Amino acid sequence: MEASQVVLAGQDLVFFENRSHATGLQTQRTLRKTAPSLGCNDGVSRPSSPEFIRFKESLEKQLSRSAAPCYTLSEKGAKLQGVSFISPKDLQKSCSHGAQVAEFRKKLGQIQ
């Protein structure tokens, strides 16, 4: 099955306020003193980690195989090759989900 679009949520891959994840999560790590930086969707460069960078490269490789357009909801997250930032509001406007639901209801009515 092929997706009509790929939307990433929560893929920041950078540190915010010296934290890798939200406060209180068991996966939270603190920033290393010599952390590499990545350019982000909002034009700011933020600290990252070698592990995040390896994951970023792997993710970019996987997404490059998709014919579907790829988006991220992370405005302050790392810029990913081939992935465009889209705000949640703009994503909602661009979705054809409403038309798909209407078509499904029409088909369901024909079955009954």
Smallest Cα–Cα separation from 42: which of 75, 20, 9? 75
Do the domain assignments include residue 71?
yes
Do the domain assignments include residue 59?
yes
* Banded model confidence at residue 112, pLDDT cuts 50, 70, 90: very low
Do the domain assignments include residue 109?
no
Do the domain assignments include residue 16?
yes
Q: Give the range of the structural domain holding residue 54, as residue numbers without chain letter.
A: 6-87
Do the domain assignments include residue 92?
no
- CA-CA distances (angstroms) from residue 76 to 8, 47, 65, 84, 106? 13, 12, 25, 12, 41
* 3-state class (DSSP) for residue 98: helix
Q: Residues for the chain: how many in total?
A: 112
* Domains held by the chain: number: 1
Smallest Cα–Cα separation from 18: which of 32, 4, 34? 32
Angle (CA) 53-88-78 rounded to 5° is 15
Do the domain assignments include residue 105?
no
For 28-76, what is each residue's pLDDT tens digit?
555 566 678 999 999 999 999 888 999 999 999 999 998 999 999 999 9
Do the domain assignments include residue 17?
yes
Predicted pLDDT of residue 27: 53
